[in-house]
Structure 1
């Protein structure tokens, strides 16, 4: 955990998702794959630290309205930034959900499960997920890649899971990395502040647990995405090939570049 998480001042959930065992006993190289939340509040120290990581590829999974709202103090010069202009919203979808008359913790979890079921087939995400794998296949020896969204947990979590799968990582390890968000993003510590913020904004009096699914992750959420992929595409391998264009040849190239 400590070796993976990079403690930054204004960027949440920044961590290395390499190092896991992949295909044929090889391991994903450390220092090649990173994941995080957005960079709108990155400090100068954060930017200096990130600049040392030789990141030349960024998949930014935020919607266009999120990119405008958060701003962006990164990428640094020379970074190839992938994103989609599809899927613009007026308000964040989860905020619209929370504006309902009454919401409890189980309803919040249900909303997140539904989100994960739909996410692998959302056109904006399919567009950027596809570009991510295309560019990973062209990553140079001394370059690293990063995937982020707003919080670095849901859209990012799905793409990191797909990347791990393409590299031959076991499902147990995939879920382990996914659930690290709860520690890396310090969800338990942040919940009271988040509750106060959202309750004030929404004029509600919800308990902490109503907001937990929007700050952290649960295994059942990623399981919902996997189940949706299996239902609609047959399995993850077929989804990678038919939806994202990651055929056997491209997967072999990516493995050669990232596994040692």
Structure 2
């Protein structure tokens, strides 16, 4: 199988490999070990066969119970579903209520996203979810592949990928570049959302908010990193104190996911 960053998934968004990134000591993240993506609810049979052949063993679903109820994952054969919500509240309004919420204040979408990123590095619920994710990553010491995802594979998934890569010793510029791949990946999804919400009356504010809610932005990523710096001092302290990784855990992650 050819190594590629963007996976050829027909009925899903933002399916990507985390292999190939270089560490400062010349090693690289192994291919065919960890995937990040959007939800798996609409996958075709071809997509499911692709993921089965790829070796997906764990599907770590970072969405809320409400999100899963609306759009349950389709699982490739031999994959275990692990329900692991980063947030388990919200996502319960009707489409019309969301349209009305974002109809008039064009700054509301970006403001909410920044608050969400800050919450993901401070809230007890997010703390538990990231700890659970790393428990799965640490037990994946065979030939299996861990896939973790949220709804669009950009925010909860984006920070999960960042923390995983930080733990392996990947530099922040590379991590941010991986995070920002979602910007281009989400362009078709944003167009769909604008069309979807047009039936409620499209305003400039609503269109701007839909863009801000369904894209990624350096300011979102930076809000999380700045909060980590203020609260924990640096990312290494965060990995130890918030996610609960020991030095031995980090060594084990590197032995599982980095080339020799």
Distance 2:56 2:10 in 1: 19
2:145 match: 144
2:42 match: 41
Mapping for residues 106-255 of structure 1, pairs under 5 Å: 106-185=107-186, 187=187, 189-200=188-199, 202-206=200-204, 208-255=207-254
Question: Aligned pair 1:21/2:19, yes or no?
Answer: no
Distance 1:158 1:98 in 2: 27
- Give the SS at the match of 1:25: coil
**C-alpha spacing 1:244/1:85, structure 2 compared with 1 (3 Å):** closer
Structure 2: which 5+ runs fail to align? none
**C-alpha spacing 1:80/1:67, structure 2 compared with 1 (3 Å):** closer
Distance 1:196 1:108 in 2: 17
Shift of 1:153: 0.3
| Contact 1:13–1:184 under 8 Å retained in 2 | yes
Distance 2:117 2:26 in 1: 30
**C-alpha spacing 1:203/1:122, structure 2 compared with 1 (3 Å):** farther
| Contact 2:150–2:156 under 8 Å retained in 1 | yes
Shift of 1:239: 1.3
1:4 match: 5
Aligned residue-pair number: 255
2:72 match: 71
- Give the SS at the match of 1:121: coil
Shift of 1:85: 9.1
Q: Supply the RMSD in Å over aligned alpha carbons.
A: 2.4
Distance 1:250 1:87 in 2: 27
Residues 137-187 of structure 1: CA deviation (Å, up to 9, x unaligned): 2212311111100110000001100000000000000000000112233x1
**C-alpha spacing 1:226/1:119, structure 2 compared with 1 (3 Å):** same
Name the stretch that deviates more: 162-171 or 20-29: 20-29
Structure 1: which 5+ runs fail to align? none
Distance 1:158 1:75 in 2: 25
- Give the SS at the match of 1:24: coil
| Contact 1:82–1:131 under 8 Å retained in 2 | no
1:103 match: 105
| Contact 2:55–2:144 under 8 Å retained in 1 | yes
Q: Normalization by structure 2: what TM-score? A: 0.89
Distance 1:224 1:102 in 2: 24
**C-alpha spacing 1:85/1:180, structure 2 compared with 1 (3 Å):** closer
**C-alpha spacing 1:90/1:18, structure 2 compared with 1 (3 Å):** closer
Q: Normalization by structure 1: what TM-score? A: 0.89
Distance 1:78 1:172 in 2: 33
Distance 1:63 1:22 in 2: 33
